[in-house]
Amino acid sequence: MTQKYVVVDLETTGNAPKKGDRIIQISAVVVENRKIKEQFTSFVNPEQMIPAFITELTGIDDEMVKDAPTFDEIAPDIIRILDGSIFTAHNVNFDLNFLQAELEEAGYPCFNGPSVDTVEMAKILLPTADSYKLTELSSGFSLNHERPHQADSDAYATALLLLEFMEKIEVLPMVTIENLLTLSFHLKSDVHLVLQALHNIKLSHIENLPDHLEVYRGIVLAKNQEIQHVELKPPSFPESNDEKNQLLSFGVDGFEAREGQLQMMDMVMKAFRKPGHAVIEAGTGIGKSLGYLIPSIYYSVEKNAPVIISTYTNQLQEQLLSREISALQKMLPFSFKTALLKGRSHYLHLLKFEQTLKEEDAQYDSVLTKMQILVWLTSTMTGDLGELNLSSGGRLYCSRIKHDGWYLSKEKDPWVSKDFYLKARKNAENANIIITNHAMLMNDLLNETSILPPYETLVLDEAHHIEKAARAHAGASLDIISSKFLLGQLGTNEKRQLAHRLYSLIEEHGITISFHPFEMDRSLQDLDQDFDDLFGILAHISRQFEKKHQPQFQKIQYLLNEIGKDGRDYKSFYICAERVKSGLKDIRQKVETGLETVKKAERALSAADKALLEELHGLLIQWEEMERTISDLILRPDERNVIWVEADLNGIPNSLSIIGQPVSLDKQLRDFLFSVKKSVVMTSATLTVKSSFDYFLQEVGLSGREILKLQLPSPFEYQKMAKLIIPNDIPEIRKVQSAQYIDAISNHIIALAEATKGRMLILFTSFDMLKRTYNLIKDSGTLDDYVLMAQGISGGSRTRLTKNFQRFDKAILFGTNSFWEGVDIPGEDLSCLIIVRLPFAPPNEPVTKAKCRQVEKAGNNSFSEYSLPEAVLRFKQGFGRLIRRSTDRGIVIVFDRRIMTTSYGRAFTSSIPPIPTVQGDINEIVTLIEDWL
């Protein structure tokens, strides 16, 4: 039977039909026999004013709809089109529910047929996509989508997308489609109808599996590509600048020679050959990645020895591999091998996944994630779970199927020959360039077990993060949500989780154990209560701290040793922590006993039984880590560590966390990294303070050592490209209450937004100040024409917020923390950068407090030796968001007048490229900006 899909899109006055929001445009595209048959589109008179932000989003204004029919006038046409169809939309619940409300309001019967959500289909069929927004998906398929946020264009693009998805399903192997079909009945929309129809078509002819795929144990995988061991003739590194430029220009349109990049290549090679350590600050536009990659590749091939490249984030790892390494494989006149290596837990454990597929699990996020993985396995060569775009529930499911090593003999794992983690390690052993991240590098250096193959040469990109990454790795944290989640995974017998499954396995094999399941249940219930008590006492202590100190903001942080260890509350807290640790140990030992007992019957165990033991083994690794954390943070803290409590005042006790980190790791970095590796090259755009590397070198344990140093300023002509503006009519931040300061900056932001037409990124140093400023401006209604987006308020990741910001002409983005670096918004999308206050860490911030004490104890000034250098580096990172390309132009506005009124202000202005600096009141500034932009 032919399926008829009607793809619908609506534009509306808002999101809530129950609150009176109405349709302003509707479009319906009919798809039959895999072809678009017709399209119905109409503006709709909503009989109310269209809000300004909807007009900004859609381009639809009151004038365009004033003569349009009302909804009840076009309802018969819509009912006719929908008759006998599968209602389809991108985010189907919104469009269908809104349409149902309008039909009901107009007195017509609601649509009662099946519905399909193309967002749900996109998540399944494009499991690694960065975004599931219609614009991004249309762009990815090169579909015609000329007017996003107008119903006719959106509906047509969604119809094209539906056809693309049908083609993608059709080329999937039959085994994969059958697995997807089994799971699809638990989805929110009727995707099973699409899968069933295409499954029936495929049944009509014999399928030949493509050569690059294989079926193993009922799951389709992309075949392992055998590593080609190419005999390489050691090349000669291009010594002259002419040779380097000739190499760099190969296949690059519009190539421009950059002297700084050539100097960087020479310095990296010099450090490798010497051998010795080097530190290189490379300003924006130098071409830093190629500056270190090219000499690294030449050196590795010449010496037949690996070079490790470590970046700060997994995202930067992927970028290096997909962009720079890909370009170099075409550019260089010889072959080289690259491997990307992450920690074991990043990879999929295939045996665990296979067995979870057989579970009767109707939980939506788990089902959706299983379907995503089934499709992903037909293409992934890495098995890196980080490739997937997962929901938060999907990430919880993946915590069950991630790789934790093997409890049973890995040779007995039926999937060992396909294991992704083992393959990644094998690739790394044969690679010239191994790309990893700082967290894994620290894990490899500071732990006893080594994951990386032996190496002597290393490049640290984004090196200003290495000390922070080392502290984070050596630290620990404890919070009630993740602790209780871990307890819940084991579960009492009644909850039928892992503990219940272990008992069932023991009974099934007639095994005798030294404890009764009821003992375990009682222990788990007691431990659950002890955790509640532990965080209940901490909540009481935190509220007492709040009353005493009356923090300005909604977040509190305090050092654990400041709450009075002789007090009654702390003694209760300590005793409760001892009970928690004892309970954790008791339960872990019981589970270990059960595991060891069952392990003896390994030969009789099914694959499902083995997967259960592996999952329990993975849980016990986390369980034991939690035991250590209780000891390290509460019972036996290391005096060299700083341990603190933090919480959102509105979310106590669930927002409570106890965190501990070493105050400094300079000695460990020196002993385990710089003293044992022949050459470490450290590079970043922000390493110097007042043109000196001294502060950075001291932080990483290299103070006083002989180091090669190179500072490369940006090649951009900042004098022509940017201006620095300091308003002189904003009160000094230290002389007024925060409410008064927020009121002043909000008024300035409103005036500046009009002058810049949006295109503004505002950087805050505290989320609380960001939130209060955002709400004040939003509630004022003066910027209703603008799209206001705020980190932590508008929803979505940094990447998603940045992309959304670039989509709108009149947009303002409020950011803190991660927005100070790593955000790349080139061109006219960003014309104005506002720095609300100089980025000094709050003096009561725990690590800052501990670091300052350490500096003072050594007889030095903590402000000049620590607080100021840290703030200057952060300021440089923030400033770097504005000019990303040689054609960019923009304005930096610093509201904090200390940059001009204090003796240390010059440390900030001298840290950035020399640009014209202007002071003035808001009227003068607005005029200047309008003229200049």
User: What is the residue type of 894?
Assistant: V
289 labelled ligand-binding:
yes
SS3 882: coil
Sign (positive or negative) of CA dihedral 255, 256, 257, 258:
negative
Give 54's contacts (C-beta < 8 A, 6+ positions apart): 11, 12, 13, 14, 24, 60
The secondary structure of residue 866, as a DSSP letter, is I
362 labelled ligand-binding:
no
Query: How far apart are alpha carbons 838 and 875 in whole angstroms?
Result: 7
Contact 501, 454 (CB under 8 A): no
Burial of 560 (0-12, 13-18, 19+ CB in 10 A): buried
Query: How far apart are alpha carbons 855 and 874 in whole angstroms?
Result: 20
Contact 790, 762 (CB under 8 A): no
Give 538's contacts (C-beta < 8 A, 6+ positions apart): 573, 645, 653, 656, 658
Q: Which of 906, 818, 675 is nearest to 315 (CA)?
A: 818
CB atoms within 10 A of CB 417: 10
284 labelled ligand-binding:
yes
The 3 state secondary structure assigned to 491-510 is: CCHHHCCHHHHHHHHHHHCC
Contact 499, 548 (CB under 8 A): no
Answer left, alpha or beta for residue 864, where phi above 0 means left and psi between -120 and 50 means alpha: alpha
288 labelled ligand-binding:
yes
286 labelled ligand-binding:
yes
Examine residue 275 and say whether the peptide bond preceding it is cis (omega within 30 degrees of 0).
yes
Contact 639, 611 (CB under 8 A): no
Two structure tokens written together for 248: 């760099």
Say what the alpha-carbon torsion angle 236, 240, 244, 250 is, to the nearest 10 degrees.
Answer: -90
> Residue with structure tokens 């690996």?
306
**DSSP H helical ranges for 132-229:** 134-140, 151-171, 174-184, 191-203
Q: What angle do CA 622, 626, 632 make, to 5 degrees?
A: 140
Query: How far apart are alpha carbons 262 and 265 in whole angstroms?
Result: 5
User: What is the residue type of 612?
Assistant: L
Contact 281, 686 (CB under 8 A): yes
Query: How far apart are alpha carbons 428 and 305 in whole angstroms?
Result: 12
SS3 717: coil
Give 741's contacts (C-beta < 8 A, 6+ positions apart): 730, 731, 733
Query: How far apart are alpha carbons 830 and 893 in whole angstroms?
Result: 13
**DSSP H helical ranges for 341-391:** 350-357, 364-376
920 labelled ligand-binding:
no
Give 621's contacts (C-beta < 8 A, 6+ positions apart): 404
Helix (H) or strand (E) holding 53: helix 52-58
Q: Mutual orientation of helices 517-549 and 568-599 as an angle, nearest 10°? A: 150
Q: 917 forms bridges with which residues in the sheet?
A: 724
Helix (H) or strand (E) holding 269: helix 259-273
What Cα–Cα distance (Å) separates residue 683 from each residue in 184, 273, 282, 422, 461?
49, 18, 7, 31, 5
> Residue with structure tokens 């402000």?
863
Two structure tokens written together for 921: 């009141």
Beta strands in 572-670 (DSSP E): 641-648, 657-662
Annotated binding site: 282-289
Annotated binding site for ATP: 282-289
